[in-house]
Amino acid sequence: MRCRIKICGVTRPEDAVMAAEAGADAIGLVFHPPSRRCVSEAQAARIVVALPPLVSAVGLFLDADAAQVRRVRSAVPLDLLQFHGNESAAFCEQFGDRYIKAVGMAGGDAWAVAREHPAAAGLLLDGHPPGAAGGSGEAFDWHQSLPAEPRIIVAGGLRVDNVAEAVEAIRPWGVDCSSGVESAPGIKDRRSIAAFIEEVYRVERHPGD
């Protein structure tokens, strides 16, 4: 099984294209105003239009009200929604879209969230406390006991020099990186993205190296 790769916190069309050309399967767009990587609906629409085919666009929300989510969905052609706060399963499911539910592993319980969100397309395990925004660059303990299921996406503190360890330890469906491939908040670095993706490919080709 190939580990999928998402580059999150994209703020510019050229960075989205760059990530896709390097091999990313998805890009993430942040719709949480306090974040330094937050984009407007107009920005997000320009980014998504620039994407080549077969690359997914994921919209990230944190305890947004339903009206905001619907407004973004009507303006931006997103493929998946991603919820990072304390959203219930009923809230996440009301939009009729496939969604990813984030789990803040600094005091969070991946097992409980997995049970509470059986319809989630993915569970994104991040290093932040439950309900926080993520993007802090903090990793969690990749060697702890985690739910044995295929929906896991690993995030939080991933960089070129440690993503191989995370993939080896968890064997997740995907990995998600934001600050670890940036030259500044929201500005992606071409060489870092290429090296990050190559590390994921390398550990899959040569596990244990």
Active site positions, annotated:
8, 126
Token pair for 44: 């997000």
Token pair for 189: 């670095």
One-letter-per-residue 3-state SS of 118-147: CCCCEEEEECCCCCCCCCCCCCCCCCCCCC
Upper half-sphere CA count for residue 177 (Cβ side, 13 Å): 29
Q: Between β-strands 56-61 and 80-83, what pairing exists: parallel, antiparallel or unpaired?
A: parallel
Q: Between β-strands 187-188 and 182-184, what pairing exists: parallel, antiparallel or unpaired?
A: antiparallel
